[in-house]
Amino acid sequence: QVQLVESGGGSVQVGGSLRLSCAASQRPFSRTVYGWFRQTPGKGREFVALMRWRGSPFYADAVKGRFTISRDNPENRLYLQMNSLKVEDTGVYYCAQGAEYTSNQESYEYWGQGTQVTVGS
């Protein structure tokens, strides 16, 4: 059973930055896929970014150019650097692990508990 633990959420002003971290309990395989999703007020959970542990990232249009997904091999950690934050980025951010390179959240088997990000104007 894989456990994922997110951290790094908080409150920030519009235009500010935050870096989210996701710690995995097991060392991933090179083809393991990690995704970041978010639950925003009034909306369902939506895709933010994904990458294979050893592969190229893919971003939702809403965050492209502002967010960067990355990994730290020795620490088995996934990161989401969020810059130029907007009010509409407010939500609970989840880290997820799966085997398929897809933005479809149904394909992800393991999920973290989420971390709250609040962007104030």
Does residue 72 contact residue 63 with C-beta atoms inside 8 Å? no
Quote the percentage of the chain above a pLDDT of 90: 80
Give, rounded to a whole angstrom, the gap between the first and last alpha carbons of the chain: 40
**pLDDT greater at residue 8 or residue 71:** 8
Query: At 26, is the pLDDT very low, low, confident or very high (cuts 50, 70, 90)?
Result: confident
Query: Coil, strand or helix: which one is 32?
Result: coil
Per residue in 64-95, pLDDT tens?
Answer: 999 999 988 777 899 999 999 999 999 999 99
Per residue in 35-59, pLDDT tens?
Answer: 999 999 888 899 999 998 888 899 9
Query: At 114, is the pLDDT very low, low, confident or very high (cuts 50, 70, 90)?
Result: very high
Q: Tell me, what's the pLDDT at 101? A: 95
Sheet strands side by side (includes 67-72)? 4-7, 18-24, 77-82, 67-72
Would you call 49 exposed, middle or buried from its count of C-beta atoms within 10 A (0-12, 13-18, 19+)?
buried
Cβ contacts of 75 within 8 Å, gap of 6 or more: 23
Query: Coil, strand or helix: which one is 24?
Result: strand
Cα distance between residue 109 and residue 97, in whole Å? 6
